[in-house]
Amino acid sequence: MRRLPVFLVLDVSESMAGTNREQLEEAIGTIVATLRTNAQALDTVYLSVIAFAGIARTLVDLCELPAFRAPPLPIGGGTALGAALELVMDEIDRQVVRGDSTRKGDWRPIVYLFTDGKPTDDVNAARERWQSRYLSRVDLVAVAMGEYADQAVLATLTNHIFTFDPKVTGGFEVFVRWLTESVSMQSERVGDPDAGRISLAKVDNRAIALARPRTDEAPSADADADCVVMVGRCQNTARPYLVKYDRYQGDAVSTEFLEIPVEGYRITGAYPLTEEYFDWTRQGASGGEASTADLEGAAACPCCGNPITIAQCRCGHLLCLAGPGEAHCPWCHADVHFQGGGEDDFTIQRGQG
Ligand SMILES: [Zn+2]
Ligand SMILES: [Zn+2]
């Protein structure tokens, strides 16, 4: 039985927190459920799931569709694209059967790589390894989610780059259908010598489009520009949480003499994290600093309901707060006093997004 190995390599950085992650988890379930109804896909497709944030890990080894269970996705800090590429190449070496004179190997593997940010690690070594030993025998389809994905880096890995805007209404449904149809088509065409290399479903331009490779922008290791994320701990439960602000651009304010663009970061929500978050985040990495002056709105603590989530202790960490008065820092265990009317803006460490 020749298998069609399909690797889903998913960016689970902090910008995925909240509804994006839930939608992605659901999407994997829907894709697998739909593929199971296609006899050819059911027979040939084997699916693996790899996640990456500050580190990369395999969540599901290549698995036949009837036995596949969609994994819960973690959230971590960073976009270690280099580590993710190294891992998927290791997994191809470990799990994909190569044909020789005595046996037929698996079909040509397909990697779907989803990312929404700029790499926070060095991708050069992984790229060289990819280009010299994998590019010619593995199909890579890269999906750049949102406008801050680094298409210039992706363009050095593959010609198949798509852009996907998760903010478009109904976009995820369009995206799930496109991916499912693409995998179905690939399973139906394995072994067809006229099929050429990879076949992908027609795109629905509302949400997903073929990208024209952009190679003009210099890759930078900065944090994502489209959101600001911060990690705090609940004073009452000691559980970690993530506060997320997304960038908005409003109509410019015009005066007689000049036009002032209106932009900044607006609260999206606060989400509970598990300690697993710290495993998926590279230690010592930070996404730079943000000033509370650029942040609009607030979210209550998702663990205990305290109204303040970005109170900063002397140790530099954030905790939740009911209001002014005595507090206990769940990070450094110091007793801290917060004064009322603390309207002063301050600088905080951002996550890497
Ligand atoms: Zn709390
Ligand atoms: Zn502290």
- What does 198-214 look like in DSSP terms, one character per residue? ---PPP-TTTEEEPPP-
- Shortest-distance ligand to the CA of residue 235: 1
Whole-number Cα distances in Å, 264 to 28, 206, 255, 267, 296: 33, 26, 19, 10, 8
Residue 311's Cα: distance from chain center in Å? 27
CA 307 to ligand 1 center in whole angstroms: 8
pLDDT tens, residue by residue, 222-231: 445 678 889 9
- Shortest-distance ligand to the CA of residue 331: 2
CA 240 to ligand 1 center in whole angstroms: 9
Q: What average pLDDT does the chain have?
A: 85
pLDDT tens, residue by residue, 176-202: 888 899 899 888 888 776 555 666 777
Please tell me the predicted confidence (pLDDT) of residue 221. 42
Structure-token pair, residue 208: 């997903």
**Which of 86-90, 163-167, 262-266 is predicted most confidently?**
86-90
- Shortest-distance ligand to the CA of residue 330: 2
Structure-token pair, residue 298: 């607030």
Structure-token pair, residue 162: 């798509």
CA 301 to ligand 1 center in whole angstroms: 5
The pLDDT confidence band at residue 284, using thresholds 50, 70 and 90, is low
pLDDT-wise least confident of 46-50, 87-91, 288-292, 320-324: 288-292
What mean pLDDT do residues 295-306 have? Answer: 94
pLDDT tens, residue by residue, 248-264: 776 666 666 666 666 78
DSSP state of 136: T
CA 327 to ligand 2 center in whole angstroms: 10
pLDDT over threshold 70, residue 73: yes
- Shortest-distance ligand to the CA of residue 328: 2
Q: Which of 170, 196, 223, 174 is nearest to 353 (CA)?
A: 223
- Shortest-distance ligand to the CA of residue 327: 2
CA 346 to ligand 2 center in whole angstroms: 16
Structure-token pair, residue 230: 């911060």
Residue 76 and residue 67: Cα distance in Å, rounded?
27
Cβ contact 84:121 at 8 Å: no
Please tell me the predicted confidence (pLDDT) of residue 256. 67
Whole-number Cα distances in Å, 142 to 53, 113, 175, 278, 312: 16, 5, 13, 27, 39
More confident: 118 or 240: 240
Q: Which of 351, 118, 316, 341 is nearest to 243 (CA)?
A: 351
CA 282 to ligand 1 center in whole angstroms: 25
Q: E-assigned strands of 89-207?
A: 110-115, 139-145, 160-164
CA 76 to ligand 2 center in whole angstroms: 21
CA 236 to ligand 1 center in whole angstroms: 5
DSSP state of 296: E
Q: Which of 5, 110, 109, 7 is nearest to 56 (CA)?
A: 7
Please tell me the predicted confidence (pLDDT) of residue 218. 43
- Shortest-distance ligand to the CA of residue 335: 2
- What does 17-68 look like in DSSP terms, one character per residue? TTHHHHHHHHHHHHHHHHHHTSHHHHHHEEEEEEEESSSEEEEEEEEEGGG-
pTM for this prediction:
0.84
Find where tokens 């406008």 sit. 147
pLDDT over threshold 80, residue 205: no
The residue type of 142 is: A
pLDDT over threshold 60, residue 333: yes
CA 271 to ligand 1 center in whole angstroms: 11
Q: Which of 241, 73, 219 is nearest to 153 (CA)?
A: 219
Sign of CA dihedral 223, 224, 225, 226: negative
- What does 1-13 look like in DSSP terms, one character per residue? ---EEEEEEEE-B
CA 306 to ligand 1 center in whole angstroms: 5
The pLDDT confidence band at residue 106, using thresholds 50, 70 and 90, is very high
The residue type of 42 is: L
The pLDDT confidence band at residue 220, using thresholds 50, 70 and 90, is very low
Please tell me the predicted confidence (pLDDT) of residue 123. 94
Please tell me the predicted confidence (pLDDT) of residue 11. 93
Residue 85 and residue 79: Cα distance in Å, rounded?
11
- Shortest-distance ligand to the CA of residue 239: 1
What are the residue ranges of helices labelled H in 134-223?
151-155, 171-189
Give the number of C-alpha atoms closer than 13 A to the C-alpha of residue 89, restricted to the C-beta side.
Answer: 20
Residue 125: enclosing H or E segment and its boundaries?
helix 124-133
Cβ contact 115:75 at 8 Å: no
CA 241 to ligand 2 center in whole angstroms: 15
CA 300 to ligand 1 center in whole angstroms: 8
- Shortest-distance ligand to the CA of residue 270: 1
* Domains in the chain with CATH codes: 4-210 (3.40.50.410), 227-349 (no CATH)
